[in-house]
């Protein structure tokens, strides 16, 4: 039998997040959690796949996400599904999480909860897009949603403040906030019709994608990045001139509330977003130095979504941050946070030192220090060499002398400074050092 030596690789558009990057990812997500919780958001954990119909109805059947980018499979492949007589249904890997949050809100009757329901989530999303820098088929988001009875502009502003506060805490300061209002069911249909009419007049100057969108989804033409189309698009009618009184007032108040919080923004009339559920407020955060995939956060209001999915009339607003892109931006800015790495490498020598080494290692780990204990005896020089390569801050030397005197020798690898310490002093020293370095 010939052995099959085929090697496997991660599928195009997916990737492994390896150490030390994974520590940066964890820190990023933890900073998001801490920030969101300080605004009284709590976590919701959602399924990775849902009925395809949920996404089609929420995001819109004519959007690229639903039309071209979903990973969909037959529910009939699942033996239980057959029994449930839903074999003809399809399921899809989630391309985003807002639809799932709205579904969960309805399913669990969350409208009966006190105040606004404020939820956040973190996890992978899936879209079959053309992979490039900052664009993957499995990518990660941290996001948050507010659902309830009120659409007060103060909610929108606080959500935006939370995003910008988080970016500041994550060291992402070279960002630009874009905001817009795309009206509601009252005023947007008339605007879309006007836009369509105007687009039909200039169709000859547009490329095939935009031409197709004139009929399917004219707002999306505004999103076009094609250089030739820009002069044409700049002359198109603008939604801000066609908002109804209520939407115009909501937008004016939102801008006031954002300014009240000392947040700089740019109004961006072409910010229509690629998902159909949005009403009124839309916003995006752009980061410097990421090339074409430079949106690190997208969000907006979606007041009709819960009702569209069969729930009670409910207002909603939220956002999602693209973790992959935000991390790229942190890495490129060279302002990586100082993350605690390997604290101590236990360099033990001679079998009599081994039980002491095992013992002190456990105590250091109990004190939340990262400790590496070589499982086999090593020569002293080799041991220190490995400690260095692993990036340990300290080598803890335990040999015959130390065992006999009941002390430890702690060597700081950066400058080779050594101290002899009792167990008590060692623990106290390393713990205070850890607190200082975090």
Find the part of the chain contacting ligand HAM (CB under 6 A) among 42-50, 257-265, 289-297, 427-435: 289-297
Q: Please, what is the minimum distance in Å from the beta carbon of residue 288 to ligand HAM?
A: 14
Place of tokens 């050594």: 418
* Distance between CA atoms of residues 207 and 229, nearest Å: 8
Find the part of the chain contacting ligand HAM (CB under 6 A) among 37-45, 137-145, 391-399, 406-414: 137-145
Q: Binder to ligand HAM among 32, 110, 159, 296 (CB under 6 A)?
A: 296
Smallest CA-to-CA distance from 237 within 278, 285, 183, 304 is with 183
DSSP conformation letters of 262-276 = T---EE-TT---S-T
Q: Binder to ligand HAM among 117, 297, 360, 427 (CB under 6 A)?
A: 297
Q: Please, what is the minimum distance in Å from the beta carbon of residue 406 to ligand HAM?
A: 56
Closer to ligand HAM at the Cβ: 91 or 136? Answer: 136
Place of tokens 């976590």: 43
* Distance between CA atoms of residues 123 and 106, nearest Å: 21
DSSP conformation letters of 67-95 = HHS--EEEGGGSHHHHHTT-TT-EEEE-S
Residue 158 within binding range of ligand HAM, rule CB under 6 A = no
Find the part of the chain contacting ligand HAM (CB under 6 A) among 183-191, 215-223, 247-255, 295-303: 295-303
**What is the three-state SS of 38-53?**
HCCCEECCCCCEEEHH
Closer to ligand HAM at the Cβ: 94 or 213? Answer: 94
Region 299-328 residues binding ligand HAM, contact defined as CB under 6 A: 299-300, 302, 318-320, 322, 324-325
DSSP classification of residue 257:
H
CA triplet 418, 419, 421: central angle to 5 degrees?
Answer: 150
| Tokens coding 176 | 């630009």
Determine if residue 56 is left, alpha or beta; phi over 0 gives left, psi from -120 to 50 gives alpha, anything else beta: alpha
Residues 80-109: x/- map of binding to ligand HAM (CB under 6 A)? Answer: ----------------x-x-----------
Q: Please, what is the minimum distance in Å from the beta carbon of residue 287 to ligand HAM?
A: 9
Q: Please, what is the minimum distance in Å from the beta carbon of residue 168 to ligand HAM?
A: 17
Report whether 327 contacts 24 (CB < 8 A).
yes
Place of tokens 């713990």: 431
Task: Name the residue with the smallest CB distance to ligand HAM.
Answer: 322
Q: Please, what is the minimum distance in Å from the beta carbon of residue 272 to ligand HAM?
A: 11
Q: Please, what is the minimum distance in Å from the beta carbon of residue 152 to ligand HAM?
A: 17
Smallest CA-to-CA distance from 262 within 184, 146, 161, 341 is with 161
Residue 136 within binding range of ligand HAM, rule CB under 6 A = yes
Find the part of the chain contacting ligand HAM (CB under 6 A) among 26-34, 140-148, 237-245, 358-366: 140-148
Applying CB under 6 A, the residues found at the interface with ligand HAM are 96, 98, 127, 129, 134-136, 139, 141, 143, 145, 274, 295-300, 302, 318-320, 322, 324-325
């Amino acid at each position: 039998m010939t052995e099959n030596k085929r090697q496997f690789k991660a599928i195009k558009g997916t990737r492994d997040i390896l150490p030390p990057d994974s520590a940066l990812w964890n820190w990023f997500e933890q900073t998001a959690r801490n920030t969101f919780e300080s605004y009284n958001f709590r976590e919701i954990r959602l399924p990775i796949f849902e009925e395809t119909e949920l996404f089609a109805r929420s995001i819109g059947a004519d959007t690229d996400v639903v039309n071209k980018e979903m990973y969909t499979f037959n529910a009939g492949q699942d033996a239980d599904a057959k029994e449930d007589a839903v074999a003809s249904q399809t399921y899809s890997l989630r391309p985003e999480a807002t639809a799932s949050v709205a579904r969960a809100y309805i399913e669990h009757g969350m409208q009966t909860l006190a105040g606004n329901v404020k939820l956040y989530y973190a996890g992978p999303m899936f879209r079959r897009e053309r992979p490039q820098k900052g664009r993957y088929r499995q990518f990660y988001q941290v996001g948050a949603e507010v659902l309830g009875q009120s659409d007060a502009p103060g909610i929108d502003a606080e959500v935006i403040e939370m995003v910008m506060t988080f970016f500041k805490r994550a060291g992402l300061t070279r960002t630009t906030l874009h905001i817009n209002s795309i009206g509601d069911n009252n005023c947007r249909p008339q605007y879309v019709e006007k836009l369509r009419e105007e687009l039909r007049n200039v169709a000859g100057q547009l490329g095939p994608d935009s031409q197709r969108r004139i009929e399917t989804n004219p707002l999306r033409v505004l999103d076009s990045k094609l250089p030739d189309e820009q002069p044409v698009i700049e002359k198109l009618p603008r939604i801000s001139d066609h908002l109804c009184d209520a939407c115009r007032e909501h937008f004016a108040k939102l801008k006031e509330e954002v300014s009240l919080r000392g947040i700089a923004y740019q109004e961006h009339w072409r910010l229509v977003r690629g998902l159909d559920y949005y009403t009124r407020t839309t916003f995006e955060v752009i980061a410097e130095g990421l090339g074409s995939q430079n949106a690190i956060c997208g969000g907006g209001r979606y007041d009709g979504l819960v009702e569209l999915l069969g729930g009670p009339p409910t207002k909603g607003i939220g956002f999602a941050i693209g973790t992959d892109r935000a991390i790229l931006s942190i890495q490129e800015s060279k302002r990586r946070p100082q993350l605690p790495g390997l604290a101590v490498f236990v360099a033990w020598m001679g079998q009599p030192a081994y039980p002491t080494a095992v013992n002190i290692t456990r105590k250091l780990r109990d004190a939340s220090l990262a400790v590496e204990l070589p499982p086999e005896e090593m020569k002293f020089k080799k041991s220190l060499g490995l400690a260095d390569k692993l990036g340990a801050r300290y080598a803890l030397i335990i040999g015959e002398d130390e065992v006999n005197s009941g002390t430890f020798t702690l060597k700081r690898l950066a400058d080779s400074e050594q101290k002899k310490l009792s167990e008590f002093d060692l623990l106290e020293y390393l713990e205070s050092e850890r607190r200082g370095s975090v």
